[in-house]
């Protein structure tokens, strides 16, 4: 009887040992599998964005990849070709990982673009879990927000104008607010006069903007302009009165004059703000000698003295070099006795000199805003 119990106990012990050994073996196998998977993911995570894009094309295979390439422009194809040439081989596991990552990013960006961040989070939570969803949203929104309309400055002006001219004025304003002031001024110059005014006013009132709306507009424009630009560095984000002042500085003289005349009727306050930012006292250094001598003759000597007391060394030098020795000595002497000047008094004096300069511009004695393509003949 005891012998039977001993045998049964021995069998149970042996079975337990075998079960423990099997469990240990399973743990080792699982750890090995997780380690291999981690190494694969680590190798993929170390790739930069260009290498990942090239790896996606390799993983897709020749036929599907050739269909994708049709939608890329020449610069992108060139970049990806160079990257593909650098990739010696990809294992089946690496291909799987890179395709999975690409798919996840596509789903995330599509969800954010079509439904906004809240909708995307709800959708991705269900699909990938909360932690993975947060990571995907962070990566996707960073990618989308970092370079809004980065391609606009590389588009030929004619193509950009033809694409934008029939869009809603707010769409045009959003797009041009991300272009360089030089490009924006050229596009605005070619638009009908009433449209110019509306777009200038809309850009002046633009804030940072809803990133979801910007992403939709950018995607629409990129699709319409596909093949007409090459990849370049991101364009800075612009908007507001300061940016409009930059544009108006570069716009052609007839358009500038006509726009201001029309806006004086509808929005004189905005015109005043723009003009105030278009030419500031320090911009005097950009005038030629004859132009500086012209406003010195017209300006009040006291205003010159107060203005120069607080001016930069470069501005002082440009103005003093265009004065007679007697006038220079007199103003420099008066400046020595000027103390405790209030900033508002300095700014008022400088503004009066700017008003003199603007008056000389209106009479044709000074050219303040020399557009990028204008040639000045002395």
- CA-based angle 183:187:188, to the nearest 5? 115
Q: Are 152-273 and 279-362 the same fold in CATH?
A: yes
Residue 41 pLDDT greater than 60, yes or no: no
Q: What is the pLDDT of residue 48?
A: 75
Q: What is the pLDDT of residue 329?
A: 93
Query: What is the per-residue pLDDT across 193-245, written as a single tens digit (0 to 9) for each?
Result: 888 888 888 888 876 666 667 777 888 887 777 655 544 434 444 567 777 87
Query: What is the per-residue pLDDT across 118-172, written as a single tens digit (0 to 9) for each?
Result: 666 666 666 667 766 666 565 555 554 445 777 787 788 888 888 888 888 888 8
- As a dihedral over the C-alpha atoms of residue 36, residue 42, residue 45, residue 51, rounded to 10 degrees, the angle is -80
Closest CA to 144 of 75, 214, 74, 191: 214
- Tell me the C-alpha distance between 137 and 143, whole Å: 10
For 365, list phi and psi in degrees, rounded to 5.
Answer: -85, -20
Q: What is the pLDDT of residue 235?
A: 44
Query: What is the per-residue pLDDT across 67-116, written as a single tens digit (0 to 9) for each?
Result: 777 776 656 766 777 777 777 777 888 888 888 877 776 776 666 555 55
Write out the two tokens for 305. 């003295």
Query: Is the separation of the CB atoms in 17 and 10 below 8 Å?
Result: no
Q: What is the pLDDT of residue 378?
A: 37
Residue 330 pLDDT greater than 90, yes or no: yes
Arithmetic mean of pLDDT, 286-294: 91
Most confidently predicted of 83-87, 107-111, 324-328, 356-360: 324-328
- Residue 195: how many CB atoms within 10 A of its CB? 14
- Residue 15: how many CB atoms within 10 A of its CB? 10
- Tell me the C-alpha distance between 284 and 27, whole Å: 77
Arithmetic mean of pLDDT, 167-184: 85
Closest CA to 202 of 179, 236, 177, 166: 177
Assign domain 279-362 to a CATH class. Answer: mainly alpha
Q: Which residues contact 252 (CB under 8 A, 6 or more apart)?
A: 189, 371, 374
Q: Which helix (H) or strand (E) holds 157?
A: helix 157-164
Higher pLDDT, 349 or 44: 349
Query: Is the separation of the CB atoms in 58 and 50 below 8 Å?
Result: no
Percent of the chain clearing pLDDT 90 (strictly above): 11
What does 184-234 look like in DSSP terms, one character per residue?
HHHHHHHS-HHHHHHHHHHHHT--S--HHHHHHHHHHHHHHTTTS----PP
Would you list the domain boundaries of the chain? 44-146, 152-273, 279-362
**Lowest-confidence region among 11-25, 197-211, 271-285:** 11-25
Residue 1 pLDDT greater than 70, yes or no: no
Arithmetic mean of pLDDT, 185-196: 86
Averaged pLDDT score across all residues of the chain = 74
- Residue 40: how many CB atoms within 10 A of its CB? 18
Query: Is the separation of the CB atoms in 198 and 270 below 8 Å?
Result: no
Arithmetic mean of pLDDT, 310-324: 92
In CATH terms, 152-273 corresponds, of 3.40.50.300, 1.20.1070.10, 1.10.220.30, 3.30.465.10, to: 1.10.220.30
- Tell me the C-alpha distance between 241 and 37, whole Å: 54
């Amino acid at each position: 009887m005891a012998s039977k119990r001993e045998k049964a106990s021995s069998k149970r012990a042996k079975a337990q040992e075998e079960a423990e050994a099997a469990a240990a073996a399973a743990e080792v196998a699982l750890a090995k599998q997780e380690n291999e998977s981690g190494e694969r993911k680590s190798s993929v995570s170390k790739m930069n964005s260009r290498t990942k894009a090239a790896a996606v094309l390799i993983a897709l295979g020749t036929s599907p990849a050739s269909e994708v390439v049709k939608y890329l422009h020449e610069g992108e194809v060139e970049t990806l070709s160079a990257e593909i040439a650098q990739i010696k081989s990809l294992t089946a596991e690496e291909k799987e990982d890179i395709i999975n990552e690409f798919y996840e990013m596509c789903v995330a960006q599509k969800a954010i673009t079509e439904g906004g961040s809240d909708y995307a989070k709800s959708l991705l939570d269900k699909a990938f879990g909360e932690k993975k969803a947060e990571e995907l949203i962070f990566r996707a929104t960073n990618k989308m927000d970092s370079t809004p309309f980065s391609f606009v400055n590389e588009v030929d002006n004619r193509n950009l104008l033809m694409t934008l001219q029939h869009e809603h004025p707010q769409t045009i304003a959003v797009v041009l607010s991300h272009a360089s002031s030089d490009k924006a001024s050229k596009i605005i110059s070619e638009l009908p006069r009433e449209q110019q005014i509306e777009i200038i006013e809309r850009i002046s009132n633009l804030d940072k903007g809803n990133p979801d709306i910007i992403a939709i507009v950018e995607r629409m424009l990129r699709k319409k302009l596909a093949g007409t630009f090459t990849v370049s560095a991101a364009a800075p984000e612009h908007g507001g009165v300061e940016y409009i002042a930059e544009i108006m500085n570069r716009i052609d003289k007839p358009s500038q004059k006509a726009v201001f005349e029309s806006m004086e009727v509808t929005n004189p306050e905005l015109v005043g703000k723009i003009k105030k930012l278009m030419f500031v006292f320090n911009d005097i250094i950009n005038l030629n000698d004859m132009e500086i001598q012209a406003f010195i003759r017209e300006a009040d000597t006291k205003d010159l003295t107060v203005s120069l007391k607080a001016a930069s060394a470069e501005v002082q030098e440009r103005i003093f070099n265009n004065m007679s020795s007697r006038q220079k000595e007199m103003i420099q002497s008066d400046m020595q006795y000027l103390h405790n000047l209030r900033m508002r008094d300095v700014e008022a004096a400088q503004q009066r000199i700017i008003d003199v300069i603007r008056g000389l511009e209106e009479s044709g004695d000074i050219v303040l805003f020399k557009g990028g393509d204008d040639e000045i003949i002395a």
